[in-house]
Amino acid sequence: MPQFDLVLIEAMKKVLEDTMTRVPVEHSTPAVKAYFAEFILKAAAQGQTSYDAPIVAAADQIEVFVSLFSQGITP
């Protein structure tokens, strides 16, 4: 399991917070937050350690998530 330094952990927290502000209120649940946290952790484990790359990737996932959710599919 990868280990992350405190600076990266703080950046990942910021990405998660910013991502959750973009999730429609009706979909903003602890499960959704966990989904995006996992996505951000995986991105960091793959070397995406700046703020910009994970926030763009997470933003793209919001559209995917909302689309799946509207079809009755939950990730």
Residue 74's pLDDT band (cuts 50, 70, 90)? low
pLDDT score at 35: 87
Q: How far apart are CA 66 and CA 36, in angstroms?
A: 12
Per-residue model confidence as pLDDT tens digits over 11-63: 999 999 999 998 888 888 898 899 889 888 888 888 888 888 778 878 878 87
Residue 10's pLDDT band (cuts 50, 70, 90)? very high
State the pTM of this model. 0.77
Could you give the angle at the alpha carbon of 13 between the alpha carbons of 9 and 18, nearest 5°? 150
